[in-house]
Structure formats: structure tokens, C-alpha cells
A and B are shown apart, each in its own frame.
Chain A
Amino acid sequence: QSALTQPASVSGSPGQSITISCTGTSSDIGGYNFVSWYQQHPGKAPKLMIYEVNNRPSGVSNRFSGSKSGNTASLTISGLQAEDEADYYCGSYRSSDTLVVFGGGTKLTVL
């Protein structure tokens, strides 16, 4: 069982918006602004899409945005495209012996 909780799957049609949630505790998401989101296509390494809750690395589309409320972080993808179909993982700093924890991943299907 992963430290952070994500839905197993979400889906949407091209052009729509979807949101993926990631729930933790006050020791990780709720206590710090060190939430990251990663996109992973099959057989590839994860790619950083959002860091420190709502910041996009250079080169990442502005269709991707992040937010946080309490112990839950969210990733929103607007204007869905076929290439967005992938697994998405959240990650967070945790003030414990683990230091960094991840969610179990959410499979995004673009219908």
C-alpha cells in the first residue's frame, strides 16, 4: 500500500479537463509545499510535470497545473490530448524516516 492515495484510474475525452487527486497527511502534503507530479509512459522513466505544488518545469505544457488544499494535492490537465494518456504519480516530502513518498499511480485514459 502506497503512502499517498490516488485513484487507480481516470478518463476523459479529447479537449476535456480532468483532475487527479493525491491524499496524504499533515506529515507530508498537508505540512509542506513539496508536492511533485510525474508522468510515465509505458516502458519509460517518469517525467517531472509539476514541482512544489504548482510550478511547471521549463518545457511542460501550461495545460498541466497543480494545487493543494489541506492534505490533498491535485493535478489538473486541461484540453486533453491523446499524448496525455499515461500513468501519473504524485510525490511529496515527508517529515519522517522515509523523506520522500509516492502515490500508487493513476492511469489516465483518453477516450
Chain B
Amino acid sequence: QVQLQQSGPGLVKPSQTLSLTCAISGDSVSNNNAAWTWIRQSPSRGLEWLGRTYSRSTWRTDYAVSVESRITIKPDTSKNQFSLQLNSVTPEDTAVYYCARGSSWDLNYWGQGTLVTVSS
């Protein structure tokens, strides 16, 4: 059974960097049939797909254009986890952030969610 455990701060100051980590058990971040994804959810924006990283002989990433200039999603094969960094945050980035495992374009396993508030 795949399990995803998220960690990271729940409060970030405006203009700073939001950083979250998703530890994987029951699967490998290097699995060639999986895509490791970040999504966020807020009352104002609903569910929003942010991006993903995946291995298909080489590592690849896809990002939503809405955050493309500010986002980095990276795998860490030594720790079997992946991370999200979102730069230059504003209060509009306040949301519950989820990591998830996808196969094709669906998301079949989700982390527990982390409420991140952007406030000074």
C-alpha cells in the first residue's frame, strides 16, 4: 500500500519560499509508471494542479503555467521522497497543499495535506 507523508512549515512570510516534502512508502520515486504531483486547494481557487516530476529513463517535470516561474518540484532518490518549492509567495498562495501519486493523469494516492498560510 502506497503511503505519502507530508512535512513542512505551516506559516510562510510574504515574498519568502514555501517548501514542502513528501516521503514515499510502499513505492519508489523512481517508478517508471508513476508521476509525483503537487496540488493545492483553497476556497477561492478550488483544486489546482501545480506540477509533477517523474522518471522515464530520465527525470522530467511538468508545471502549471500559473506558477511556472516560481515553482520547483524535485525528486530525492536517496530518501525516496520529492519536494515542492514555491518562491515569492503572496497571501494568494495560502491553501492546503497535497502531494499525490499519479498514474497517467489521475491521482490515486494522496498525502494528508498541509495547510500553508502566507502571512507576516
Q: Bound complex: CA of A32 vs CA of B65, how far in Å? A: 20
B47 touches A89 (CB 8 A): yes
Is residue A69 contacting chain B, with contact meaning CB distance below 8 A? no
- The interface on chain B, measured as residues whose beta carbon lies within 8 A of the other chain's beta carbons, has a size of 19
Which of A38, A102, A105 has its CB near the most chain B CB atoms (within 10 A)? A102
- The interface on chain A, measured as residues whose beta carbon lies within 8 A of the other chain's beta carbons, has a size of 24
Is residue A48 contacting chain B, with contact meaning CB distance below 8 A? yes
If A45-B98, A105-B46 touch, does A98 touch B64 (CB 8 Å cutoff)? yes
B48 touches A102 (CB 8 A): yes
Q: Bound complex: CA of A104 vs CA of B112, how far in Å? A: 20
Interface residues of B (CB under 8 A from A): 46-49, 62, 64-66, 68, 98, 104-108, 110-113
Interface residues of A (CB under 8 A from B): 2, 34, 36, 38, 45-48, 51-52, 57, 89, 91-93, 97-105
